[in-house]
Structure 1
Amino acid sequence: MYTKELIQKFGMINTKSIGTPISPSTSLDKDEQGKLVDETKYRGMIGSLLYIMASRPDIMFSVCKCAMFQLAPKESHLIAVKRIIRYLIGTTSYGLWYPSSNNFKLEVFSDDDLAGDKEDRKSTSGTCQLLGNALISWNSKK
């Protein structure tokens, strides 16, 4: 369990868990006035979280947002990273399961309707990606 090792590595074993990886009211920016933190520690935390993302897509947005500030991380950025780890504390049993079966193929489907909207003549397109029998991604665009 790499997640448990990460929690221990960054000294957060006795920390309470939290329900979301990032607060909806959080707006991370450069924080010019904020106090600088140790870049090496911050980058190590981000690197560990990037590794976990392979099986935990639920933290992808939060980790990528925090990764944007590796050049000059401030205390506000470190607090956001620690919040992600606090989220992981309560969700250590979550993850993707990659079964070892022969039906482990990636399929992609797409469709489009060129200028199909009678009012504005805009096109609509969509795609979906399946890994085995599981939908892993989709999008639709007008």
Structure 2
Amino acid sequence: MTDLGLLHHFLGMGVVQTDKTIFIHQRKYAMKLIEKFGMKDCKSVATPLVVNEKLCKVDGSEAANESEYRQVVGSLLYLTATRPDIMFSSSLLARFMHNPTKKHMGIAKRVLRYIQGTLDFGIEFVKEKTTTLIGYCDSDWARSEDDMRSTSGYAFTLVSGMFSWALIKQNTAALSTTEAEYVNAAEATSQAKWLRFVLEDFGEEQVEGTPIMCDNTSGITIAKNPVLNQKTGHISRKFHFIRKAIQAKEIELVYCKMEDHIAYILTKALPKDRFACLRGLLGVKSPKRLEGSVDV
């Protein structure tokens, strides 16, 4: 065996290590992406999406080049490996892979313009003595213009600020705001149980229940009070296992204020200042803000 020293590149990702942090980025891939789609000299923007931006399958604009659109969106989805700040915008665009319009292509190019201004951004992993898993879940009720489905998302971090996992998806349209939050919390609970199992294998057993932050007090009440089950009988039984997880003290639903709710960045377009704040809490930042000398 040959010792090649510290890891610097892996599957197109750059790795920078200091005494206290590990920084992972895809700067070279992002630069090639910008050049490939003719956006090298474009003007950058502060956010990937305009606030309250709504997309639908039929928007009145002309059809776009479907092959090119799929290439752009597919490339952006791969970039989310180290850039969860574009996960919502990339996943939103992925809903229109079939028969995209020029408006959809315009939004995709706006995301590329955002990437242009944040080429060196990546995820920071911080070394700490303890590792406590914390989850965040949020649901944007009935935001889809085509089928009125809710968009849900959840993210997990460790107490050190290390990003672990983020995902967004569309849920059923037949639920109210509270019920959509409840279903999302149940899905986050399922992920939390799996992450607890993985961390235990790594020697980082989570002794206390994993807190899952939620901004809907009614959803928290439903999860903690089985008496309300008769009022939510139309929710699939598979989502009620969250109550068993709470009773077993594997997870704990905790109310979180909107200002600190990381999962917000996964479910909706946000203003510049709010987006930048949550992006930092998610662990996505420029290497210029890291401690020590970092050369990307």
TM-score normalized with structure 1 length: 0.74
Which amino acid in 2 is paired with 1:71?
Answer: H
The 1:28/1:132 distance shift into structure 2, 3 A limit, reads same
Distance in 1 of aligned mates of 2:156 and 2:63: 41
The 1:55/1:30 distance shift into structure 2, 3 A limit, reads same
Distance in 1 of aligned mates of 2:74 and 2:84: 15
| Aligned 8 A contact 1:36 1:74 in 2 | yes
Of 19-28 and 130-139, more deviation after overlay is shown by: 130-139
Distance in 2 of aligned mates of 1:35 and 1:51: 27
Distance in 1 of aligned mates of 2:76 and 2:103: 17
Q: Which runs of 5+ in 2 are unaligned?
A: 1-27, 136-153, 167-211, 218-296
Distance in 2 of aligned mates of 1:20 and 1:129: 22
Deviation string for 1:65-118 (max 9, x for gaps)?
11111111000000000000000000111111357x797x78357xxxxxxxxx
The 1:128/1:73 distance shift into structure 2, 3 A limit, reads closer
Equivalent residue for 2:133?
A: 107
Deviation string for 1:14-43 (max 9, x for gaps)?
111111100114211112522111111101
Q: Percent identity?
A: 33
Equivalent residue for 2:94?
A: 67
Secondary structure at the aligned position of 1:97 is classed as: strand
Q: Does 1:79 align with 2:106?
A: yes
Which amino acid in 1 is paired with 2:66?
Answer: E
Secondary structure at the aligned position of 1:130 is classed as: strand
Q: What is the aligned counterpart of 1:46 among 73, 83, 90?
A: 73
Q: Does 1:139 align with 2:196?
A: no
TM-score normalized with structure 2 length: 0.38
Secondary structure at the aligned position of 1:96 is classed as: strand
Q: What is the aligned counterpart of 2:50 among 2, 23, 29?
A: 23
Equivalent residue for 1:14?
A: 41
Name the structure with the higher helix share: 2
| Aligned 8 A contact 1:37 1:78 in 2 | yes
Secondary structure at the aligned position of 1:78 is classed as: helix
Q: Which runs of 5+ in 1 are unaligned?
A: 110-126
Distance in 2 of aligned mates of 1:102 and 1:6: 34
The list of structure 1 runs, each at least 4 consecutive aligned residues, that deviate by more than 6 angstroms after superposition, is none
Distance in 2 of aligned mates of 1:128 and 1:50: 17
